[in-house]
Structure 1
Amino acid sequence: MAVSPSNLLDQVLDYTNRANPYPIYAKMREHPIQLQDDGRYVVSSYNLVSQLIKDPRMSVDMRKSNEPTIRVEQQEPGFVFQDPPKHDWLRQQVMSKFTPQLISSLRPRLEEIVNELLDAQHGQTQMDIVDNFAYPLPVTAICELLGIPREDEAQFHIWSTMIIKGSNLGRDLEAVKEARQGRELLNNYMGQLIDRIQQQPRPGLLSAMIHDNTVEKQMNRIELVTTATLLLIAGHETTVNLITNSTLTLMRHPAEFERLRRQPAIIPNLIEEVLRYEPPVQFTMRNALTDLTIEGIQIPKGSIIMLMNAAANRDPAHFQDPDRFNPVRPAIEHFGFGGGIHYCVGAPLARLEADIALRALARRLINPRLLQDPPPYRESPTLRGPRHLLVSFERIAD
């Protein structure tokens, strides 16, 4: 039988627990499927998340759920919130342009951006990792990649923040309303930009998708707008958290930071460990396309099912000593980028940006330390990461 001791999902959503939700996740795993007071089901074990994240009976399209407050009230959501076959077709339109060769070619430019950001800190002895580094890097990168004017960042940053604030699972109706408004404003902006690009092609993925003559069927205007909006938000919000969570974790483990400085070759594995240990996306939502029975528990059609990726990532039944940060941990099979057909499209780019960022921080940040721990966190319980991360240091090396 599903049980809900102390309605643990409410505790995860409570901002006072944002700095450390992991003890709550541990309680969740004591009963891997829990029915919450609001009728949602929380799934927290590694094995169950692994099964359900790939289960075709699970839908990511919230228009199919029983909860009106979380239904996507727009003509069409981005492809990560759609099911096959539409999801598969739209995803392929993106992946055909977002190739491994393209991502690899971005390395020199990303290294240039990273060094420019750190060069700007010469003469300083402290900085905000978020505002001065982890945010401007992926924002600049995704703008250049898509062909979006970087000078418009101040506008879409506000709209993106409004949208992210609404990712509170429909609990705060004002936040839901604000998110809807932010989505409309950002979609309108993207629509106008797409209209200009249709008239005048320019470098970038948006122009490549708009003017693609190699496919039998092109995306229509609505599909282009929602895809562009999705790529812009997803292309920087999660990467900001990945870089910031990585930096915070290393600052909390000075010996590991020194090991990183001496052995930068461990960075790829270290990033996977951060994705397990402090994932930028804590959980995802599904809804049941049919009546289900999981582990003997009956779940009605349309019910919301919360896949608690961060809880599964620390499941002791799958990971040895899961609450220990170990950058050389072997075989790290995590849910930091989701899984199944909805595995994060931008994962290779996020990994590359984090790799370059951490190499530069380890080499150039001399004797860093945290100025505030825990730092203030962003409001979103889903996209979890520090809003600011203040560190002091002796100097920025050349």
Structure 2
Amino acid sequence: MTPPSLLRRITDYASRADPYPLYEELRATPVLHEEDGGPYVVSSYYDILGLLHDPRISSDAANLAVPGADELPGPEAAGLPPSFLRLDPPEHDRLRRIANSSFGPPRRPHRIDSMREELHRIVSELIDGFADERRVDLVDRFAYPFPVIVICRLLGVPREDEPRFRAWVDPIVAALDPDTRDDPDAPVQRAAQEARVQLGVYLAGLVEQRAREPRDDMLSDLVAAHGPDGSLSMMEVLSTAVLLLIAGHETTVNLIANGMLTLLRHPEYLRRLREEPALSVRIVEELLRYEPPVQLVPQRTCLADVEVRGVTIPKGSRIWLVLAAGNRDPERFKDPDRFDPDRSDVEHLGFGSGIHSCFGAPLARVEAQIALAELARRLEDPRLVEDPPPYRPNAVLRGPRHLNVDVAGVRP
């Protein structure tokens, strides 16, 4: 019986709890190509960084060797045009600039910073919700609802509709499993398609409402955007909204859940964070290196022959960039398998790099900093119930499905 390939072992659910020994094995072959028609897998820090900035590497869905197979759910599956995540310049740059104008500088330079008070309030209310319990699932009760509430309020989704998003988001994210996403007839893919359609219909109604009655929210800004780059069509507004809702939310869930799991495994830093809330900034940056929520970018396409470490990757080939392997590359980071928030140099790949670097990184950072600092402050003697915890099936967006913790109490 032929043993499974290294890439198959990495994507196998059995490796989800600890893929890092496999990433170490992967780095021994910086450019891995195991079979004809399969992807070229790149795992060293400097090679990944270079390819993320290389204009010969395409993100355009039209160039993908396996259409629709990407690292994040595509709005086009619901009949919408591709989001800017799946486009190359110049169209990518135009759409991203318009979207960014409602998210940050220069038009909305204080939008994220001005949310800090509300973020603290949301976090406090969520923790208050399980204050009388002595065992709590920090994913279900905290890490999952927090980003949903935040992104919905940022976009302008009515509060009474926030619970509906979980019913849509769960099947869409489940469909990212590399073992099923290329089979449109798989039950998980059919469920995801139905969820995308329902989400698209709902957002279309909300966009039409904002066109008639604009408010102080991001969706209204997207609808009303008009400047040097023109404006967004209705379909482009919907694509951008779907991207922000799904991609931004799911990565933040994993960042917070991975963060608490890591701190519970390193109680000395949990104690320090309780005493020094400002340490949350360094902790989050080290988490983005040590346990990044996006482990790999499984679909890019070469627009020309590209040479990496003496290996020629032919034009038209698929490339997988294993960000989490690069983040623990000993060529780049000293003692890379050690969690060390006091690290002086932590220029990680946790949010990618180049033109497709994470659009929502400023918000995700603030959310994680506030969430982890407040959990550290308020939870009394938290202890993991199960280690490792059960993980989500997806190898791309990796994080615990549940994180059950016993606590002696919850501080006010």
Return the TM-score normalized by structure 2. 0.91
Code of the aligned partner of 2:398: R
**Are the equivalent residues in 1 in contact too, given 2:225–2:232 (CA < 8 A)?**
no
| Match of residue 230, structure 2, among 217, 241, 255 | 217
Secondary structure class of the residue paired with 2:300: strand
User: Partner of 1:31 in structure 2?
Assistant: 29
Partners in 2 of 1:96 and 1:295 — Cα distance?
A: 39
Distance 1:170 1:61, change over 3 A: farther
User: Partner of 2:59 in structure 1?
Assistant: 60
Partners in 2 of 1:33 and 1:171 — Cα distance?
A: 25
| Match of residue 105, structure 1, among 114, 126, 138 | 114
Partners in 2 of 1:39 and 1:310 — Cα distance?
A: 20
Distance 1:150 1:63, change over 3 A: farther
Most deviating of 27-36 and 73-82: 73-82
**Are the equivalent residues in 2 in contact too, given 1:289–1:301 (CA < 8 A)?**
yes
Partners in 1 of 2:189 and 2:159 — Cα distance?
A: 27
User: Partner of 2:6 in structure 1?
Assistant: 8
Return the TM-score normalized by structure 1. 0.94
User: Partner of 2:282 in structure 1?
Assistant: 269
Q: Deviations over 1:215-236 (max 9, x none)?
A: 5621001101100100111221
Q: Deviations over 1:47-102 (max 9, x none)?
A: 11111111110111232122246286545211111111111111111111111411
Partners in 2 of 1:206 and 1:380 — Cα distance?
A: 29
- Aligned-CA RMSD value: 1.8
Percent identity of paired positions between Structure 1 and Structure 2: 47
Q: Deviations over 1:133-163 (max 9, x none)?
A: 1111111111111001233233332322222
Q: How far is 1:334 from its partner?
A: 0.6
Q: How far is 1:176 from its partner?
A: 4.3
**Are the equivalent residues in 1 in contact too, given 2:296–2:324 (CA < 8 A)?**
yes
Secondary structure class of the residue paired with 1:238: helix
Partners in 2 of 1:344 and 1:55 — Cα distance?
A: 17
Partners in 2 of 1:152 and 1:8 — Cα distance?
A: 43
Most deviating of 329-338 and 205-214: 205-214
User: Partner of 2:73 in structure 1?
Assistant: none
Partners in 2 of 1:69 and 1:233 — Cα distance?
A: 16
Partners in 2 of 1:147 and 1:69 — Cα distance?
A: 29
**Are the equivalent residues in 2 in contact too, given 1:292–1:299 (CA < 8 A)?**
yes
Partners in 2 of 1:206 and 1:195 — Cα distance?
A: 10
Partners in 1 of 2:210 and 2:93 — Cα distance?
A: 25
Secondary structure class of the residue paired with 1:359: helix
User: Partner of 2:206 in structure 1?
Assistant: 193
Partners in 2 of 1:141 and 1:353 — Cα distance?
A: 9
Note the residue ranges of structure 1 that are not aligned, 5 or more in a row.
none
User: Partner of 2:151 in structure 1?
Assistant: 142
Note the residue ranges of structure 2 that are not aligned, 5 or more in a row.
71-75
Partners in 2 of 1:65 and 1:208 — Cα distance?
A: 32
Q: How many residues align?
A: 394
| Match of residue 115, structure 1, among 124, 127, 131 | 124
Q: How far is 1:238 from its partner?
A: 0.7
Code of the aligned partner of 1:319: F
